[in-house]
DNA sequence: GTAAGATCTAGAGTTCGCTCTAGGTCAAGG
DNA sequence: CCTTGACCTAGAGCGAACTCTAGATCTTAC
């Protein structure tokens, strides 16, 4: 009954599977190697959990495992490389901003299509009005249907 | 020299590789099978290209290939299933909205971290102020560095 | 006619991020 | 002491979405 959290407890707290936690460690994503109990089991501390929650954020916005490893290495190396860390964060920030913008643009197209289908369906079950005078956004489906 | 575009031309216009185009067809993502020239080569028309551009949007916001196939099947089946198409679009729309919201939240955390690193770096190269009084958002890195 | 280059098919291979298996070890309760 | 269940390592396997290979065929230009 040592100090610290077991891998199972950390799994619950982070939502990562125990397999994923071992994988993250193997891949060098932890800030140094996780400490072990007398019997050789992993014992995580609060910092480990916080770090893993941050990793979850990184992963959730598409940061590759290799970039997280790089960031972890910089942090583990201690003070003196803050500008490198910043560069990595900024690069990721930019990528995510671009991706969000892209997704929002695509979302408007998809939403527009959905709204048009709603109107079409609401306007009655007749397929008659549909083919031929479909607005540009549904012209594709209309044409395809005509084949 | 038949009508229509070759796979190479469509590749240029859509950004999809010729391999990906053949893969999409095999996977049932096209609205029916692409027509062929006398010699057995694919000939795409404008509708195919428009459809592929739409597929690109779908893919760019994370719609799985299997969902696109489903949507393609519905469109290819012709009028009468508009509410199913709508359901699929709406489900995807909701997922993307949630994902965008999540990404934006993560983005604020990452951006905050980046801003703090900027301040730290701007405040002079001293690592002294750093450890110990780091704001909450960088406490993790500070603690890790202290090990 | 012939050489080059685009395309064809079927199927194998790749990358990413886990996930699972096998065969043990360790810790706690009865 | 024995059982049960969480944990260990090393390494194989998996699903998604392509990507590439091999060997054949088609098209075009000279």
Give the helix/strand (H/E) hosting A46: helix A46-60
Structure confidence at residue A127 (pLDDT) = 52
Where does the pLDDT of residue A132 fall: very low under 50, low under 70, confident under 90, or very high at 90 and above? Answer: very low
Per-residue exposure over B73-84, b if at least 16 CB sit within 10 Å of its own CB, e if not = ebbbeebeebee
pLDDT tier, A37 (very low <50, low <70, confident <90, very high otherwise): very high
Contact A31 B103 (CB under 8 A): no
pLDDT digits (tens, 9 = 90+) for A66-102: 999 999 999 999 999 999 999 999 999 999 999 999 9
List bases in chain C with any atom under 7 Å of a protein Cβ.
6-9, 11, 16-21, 25-28
Nearest C-alpha of chain A: how many angstroms from B74? 9
**Residue B137: predicted pLDDT:** 65
Residues in chain B: 147
- The predicted model gives A116-143 an average pLDDT of 68
A55 and A29 Cβ atoms separated by less than 8 Å? yes
Return mean pLDDT, chain A: 90
Residues 85-144 of B with CB under 8 A from A: 85-86, 89-90, 92-93, 96-97, 99-100, 102-104, 106-107, 109-111, 113-114, 117-118, 120-121, 127, 130-131, 140-141, 143-144
| String of DSSP letters for chain B | --SSB-HHHHHHHH---HHHHHHHHHTT-SSSPPEE-TTS-EEB-HHHHHHHHHHHHHHHTT--HHHHHHHHHHHHT-TT-HHHHHHHHHHHHHHHHHHHHHHHHHHHHHHHHHHHHHHHHHT-S-STTHHHH--HHHHHHHHHHH-
Contact between A145 and B50 using a beta-carbon 8 Å cutoff: no
CB pairs below 8 Å between A and B: how many? 133
Tell me the domain boundaries of chain A.
Answer: 1-78, 96-147
Contacts of A99 in chain B (CB under 8 A): 103
pLDDT in tens, chain B (147 residues): 568 999 999 999 999 999 999 999 999 999 999 999 999 999 999 999 999 999 999 999 999 999 999 999 999 999 999 999 999 999 999 999 999 999 999 999 999 999 999 998 998 755 555 554 444 567 777 777 666
**Residue A124 predicted with pLDDT over 90:** no
Residue B37: phi, psi to the nearest 5? -80, 170
Range B1-78 has CATH code 1.10.260.40 = no
């Amino acid at each position: 009954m040592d100090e610290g959290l077991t891998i199972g407890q950390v799994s619950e707290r982070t939502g990562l599977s125990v397999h994923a936690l071992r994988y993250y460690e193997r891949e060098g994503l932890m800030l140094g190697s996780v400490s072990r109990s007398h019997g050789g089991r992993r014992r995580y501390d609060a910092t480990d959990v916080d770090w893993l929650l941050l990793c979850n954020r990184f992963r959730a916005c598409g940061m590759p495992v290799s970039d997280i490893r790089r960031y972890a290495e910089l942090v583990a190396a201690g003070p003196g490389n803050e500008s490198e860390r910043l560069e990595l964060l900024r690069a990721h920030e930019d990528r995510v901003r671009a991706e969000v913008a892209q997704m929002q643009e695509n979302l408007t197209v998809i939403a527009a299509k959905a709204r048009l289908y709603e109107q079409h369906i609401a306007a009655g079950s007749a397929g008659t009005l549909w083919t031929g005078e479909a607005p540009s956004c549904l012209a594709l489906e209309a044409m395809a249907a005509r084949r």
